[in-house]
Amino acid sequence: MIAATRNYMAEVWEAWNEFWFTPISPSTLSAIRVLAGAMLLYTHLVWSFDLNAFFGHNGWLPAEMMQEAEIAGNDPDGPGPVVGAPRWNWSHFAFAQSPKMMWTVHVVALAVFFLLMIGFFSRTMALLGFLFAVSYANRVTPGAYFGLDKINCMLAMYLMLGPCGARYSVDHLWRLKRGGPTEVPPSTFANLAIRMIQIHMCIIYLFSGIGKLQGEPWVTGTASWLSFAMLEYQSLDMTWLAKFPRLLNFMTHLTVFWELSYCALVWPRLTRPWVLLMAVFVHGGIILVLGMPTFGLVMLIGNLAFVSPKTIRKVFDPVARRISLAIVGKASRAGGSD
């Protein structure tokens, strides 16, 4: 009995090690860096239109009011604090107060996101990018943040854990130019970062599904219609669907089922392509119909964590190869062995 238990524990530990610490190609993580970096850059570039209005001391969201609001309830749909308990919602806007200083830091932040996207000192830029992303998000929470900020911060956080600049990056080109190997070795920390994105995505979808089950429209199948019938979200008129109530019911139930089952069905190879295809439909709908292209795209970037490095390389390598050949005269083999 004791031996069987010991053996079982050993197998569990080995399975855990296999899951978290098996080296994999950093291709998927690198691709996520490129896309998440682009999204971070775009997100913060758009802040430039209203930097003083949103982040200034006396803008839409005055600093004093935000401090109180954060203490009263940091997030409308997150854990409320014990009243009066100090929070640690840090932001560089506490120190960059004058417009000149705010803009100077803003330009630096944009440069960081750009460098993260192109992969120049990638790990360092991932760390700085994460700090900047959280800093901006904290200043406008609660007030002007939404799911995009949550996922931006999440992706930036995990990018810094692994070699996100191993491929599709200036870092990689630099290594090639200095005579480094064309193939990038598998990395344990690439796996660790990808696994953490995967688990985090599962938790997001699980709780999104559970939250929906607590609402009558999601149970009765009317939520899809209500989403289409909110003018402020609408980017494509779908009200013609009013004539098809069963279809609306089906779309609602399918969304809830998909979100609830994502954390289980995304792992087996048999069901994974279908789960990811459904992600494309759901988030594609958010992009086209519900007027949140950035949020839809960033969720799809998160879903990329479930795409194998081999598939990623088939898509990214041809472009990367051309750039590499043009700049340094040599390149990794397209769609390589991993």
Partner 1 sequence: MAAAPVKPFGPTMQPTPQKPRPTPTLREPGASPKRPGRPGAFVRVVISLLIVWHFAGVFLAALSIPTSSQLVMDAAQHRPMQWYLDALYMNQGHSFFAPEVGPGHLIRYELFDQSGQVMEKGEFPKDEWPRLRYHRHFMLADQADMPGSEESSKYWQRRYLEAYARQLLRTNEIAQTALVRRIAHWPLPRELALQQRTLTDPEGYELLMEVTQRRSDLGPEETNQSLMWQGGQMNTAGRWNGAPR
Restricted to residues 79-138, the positions that interact with partner 1 (CB under 8 A) are 79-91, 93-95, 97, 133-134, 137-138
291: left (phi over 0), alpha (psi -120 to 50) or beta: left
What span, in angstroms and rounded, lies between the C-alpha atoms of 112 and 107? 9
In the bound state with partner 1, the residue whose beta carbon lies nearer, of 191 and 324, is 191
What span, in angstroms and rounded, lies between the C-alpha atoms of 268 and 83? 44
What span, in angstroms and rounded, lies between the C-alpha atoms of 15 and 183? 28
What SS3 class is residue 270? Answer: coil
Beta-carbon-side half-sphere exposure of residue 57 (alpha carbons within 13 Å)? 8
Binding partner 1 (rule: CB under 8 A), the pick from 51, 63, 265, 289 is 63
Within 140-181, residue ranges assigned H as helices are 147-159, 170-177
219-278 positions binding partner 1, by CB under 8 A = 222-223, 225-227, 229-235, 239, 242-243, 245, 248
Measured from the CB of residue 319, what is the shortest distance to partner 1 in angstroms?
A: 25
Residue where the block lists tokens 């390389």: 313
Number of other CB atoms surrounding residue 57 within 10 Å: 15
What span, in angstroms and rounded, lies between the C-alpha atoms of 225 and 255? 13
Measured from the CB of residue 19, what is the shortest distance to partner 1 in angstroms?
A: 10
In the bound state with partner 1, the residue whose beta carbon lies nearer, of 7 and 182, is 7
Measured from the CB of residue 120, what is the shortest distance to partner 1 in angstroms?
A: 24
149-208 positions binding partner 1, by CB under 8 A = 149-150, 153-154, 157, 185-188, 192, 196, 199-200, 203-208
Binding partner 1 (rule: CB under 8 A), the pick from 99, 211, 273, 318 is 211
What span, in angstroms and rounded, lies between the C-alpha atoms of 181 and 331? 9
In the bound state with partner 1, the residue whose beta carbon lies nearer, of 294 and 324, is 294
Using CB under 8 A as the binding criterion, the count of chain residues that bind partner 1 stands at 120
Measured from the CB of residue 32, what is the shortest distance to partner 1 in angstroms?
A: 18
In the bound state with partner 1, the residue whose beta carbon lies nearer, of 234 and 311, is 234
